[in-house]
Amino acid sequence: MKYSKLVELYEKISSTTKRLEKIDYISEFLKELKEEDADSLYLLLGEIYPDYDDRKIGISNQLAIKAISRATGIDEKKVLQQWKKMGDLGKVSENFIKNKKQTTLQTQTLATKKIIDNLRKLPELEGQGTVDKKLILITELLSSASPKESLYITRTLIGDLRIGIQESTIKSAIAKAFFSDKENSEEIIQKAIDLSNDLKKVFLISKNKELKKLEDVSLEIGKPSKVMLAQKAESIEDAFEKLGKPCVIEYKYDGFRLIIHKKGNLIRLFTRRLEDVTKQFPEVAEYVKKYVKGDSFILDSEAIGYDKKTKRYLPFQGISQRIKRKYDIEKIS
């Protein structure tokens, strides 16, 4: 599929603030979308992978500025000045590419697959020369892009797509495109998305109009899923009103949600934001091996810090900083 086709959809979605119109545009796009181009669904949300995959593009504004400079031949300082003036690096890229195209008359057709392939290489790059390698991949795309294409490529790179749609909009569009005659289709689609965390998987099943197969989508060990969050109550009376009687009440510990996946000897730990924190909490994996019987399971738990000397639980801040930690993990644990 040509990337310009996706850009057309971006433009249509951006042209309206009405949710129903956005749903209509996406619905028509989905009807024509071929199975081999299904990865473009991730791009609609400014991503390159499904939600359960924690790899991100991870390009800074500064690196994007360097790439725009290389692709257009414009000095970095001038790109920076325009960004400060306009507040949108995508628009800056679009304007500079537009001027370049007028002088070079260069035209190339960019495929959506090429965009995804190049962007997916970015998180994999490590070690010496990483910055230059990333610049080559990004510059290649911007040099081949039309002005409008460069606008959305740049915004995707820095995680700021600005087209005003959420996963729920795509859910409604899938329902309209493939199950317009089924009343409860949106609810079934939402459940399938929550359990799989993969729009592409849900789209492929929906395209074949297999509503029953959508109902069969279930949790998979090793893939994090969205968890239900606590609902707030104004008072004890309000809580009983919402939950009914009798109900079980327990203390809320000051920790963080930890979802534990185990299959055989493989153990993976995820936060409620779907982050893989297995490496950050090696002692939890050891506790699971030692104390939890079962070969295959998913546990929904709360991780709480504990001070052996004072025999008191630690505040949330005492353990939350470990979620992003990369070094000295064994010592801290």
- For residue 302, the domain's CATH number is 3.30.470.30
**Last residue of one domain, picked from the residues 126, 157, 188:** 157
Strand locations in the chain, DSSP E?
256-263, 266-271, 296-303, 306-307, 312-313
pLDDT at 103 over 80: no
Residue type, 7: V
Give residue 75's region: left, alpha or beta (phi > 0; psi -120 to 50). Answer: beta
Query: Are 148 and 57 part of one and the same domain?
Result: yes
Determine the Cα–Cα distance for residues 239 and 103; give it in Å rounded to an integer: 67
Query: Are 153 and 240 part of one and the same domain?
Result: no
- With beta carbons less than 8 A apart as the criterion, state whether 36 and 49 touch: no
Provide the CATH number for the domain around residue 52. 1.10.3260.10
Catalytic: 252?
yes
Is there a domain that residue 252 lies in? Answer: yes
In which domain, by residue range, is 277 found? 236-332
C-alpha angle 276-122-160 in degrees, rounded to nearest 5: 80
Residue 87's φ and ψ, nearest 5 degrees, are 75, 15
Query: Are 51 and 152 part of one and the same domain?
Result: yes
Structure tokens at 221: 């060990």
The CA distances from residue 35 to 119, 128, 167, in Å, are 20, 37, 19
Is there a domain that residue 163 lies in? Answer: no
Is there a domain that residue 293 lies in? Answer: yes
Is there a domain that residue 41 lies in? Answer: no
Determine the Cα–Cα distance for residues 306 and 223; give it in Å rounded to an integer: 28
**Last residue of one domain, picked from the residues 157, 190, 225:** 157
Is there a domain that residue 2 lies in? Answer: no
Average pLDDT over residues 300-307: 90
pLDDT at 244 over 80: yes
Residue with the larger pLDDT of the pair 243 and 24: 24
Query: Are 152 and 240 part of one and the same domain?
Result: no
According to the model, what pLDDT value does residue 106 have? 53
Query: Are 149 and 243 part of one and the same domain?
Result: no
- The structure's pTM equals 0.83
Is there a domain that residue 198 lies in? Answer: no
Render pLDDT for 108-158 as a digit per residue (tens, 0 to 9). Answer: 789 999 999 999 999 999 888 999 999 999 999 999 999 999 999 999 999
Is there a domain that residue 134 lies in? Answer: yes
Total domains in the fold of the chain: 2
pLDDT at 201 over 70: yes
Query: Are 152 and 244 part of one and the same domain?
Result: no
Under 8 Å CB-to-CB from 279, ≥6 apart: which residues? Answer: 329
**Last residue of one domain, picked from the residues 157, 187, 219:** 157
Under 8 Å CB-to-CB from 73, ≥6 apart: which residues? Answer: 100
* Predicted confidence band of residue 105 (pLDDT cuts 50, 70, 90): very low
Render pLDDT for 40-90 as a digit per residue (tens, 0 to 9). Answer: 999 999 999 998 888 889 899 999 999 999 999 999 999 999 999 999 999
Q: What is the dihedral of CA 101, 106, 107, 108, to 10 degrees?
A: -120
Q: What percent of the chain has pLDDT over 90?
A: 76
pLDDT at 326 over 80: no
Average pLDDT, the chain: 92
According to the model, what pLDDT value does residue 101 have? 60
Query: Are 58 and 147 part of one and the same domain?
Result: yes
Q: Which of 212, 245, 252, 331 is catalytic?
A: 252
Is there a domain that residue 179 lies in? Answer: no
Determine the Cα–Cα distance for residues 4 and 85; give it in Å rounded to an integer: 27
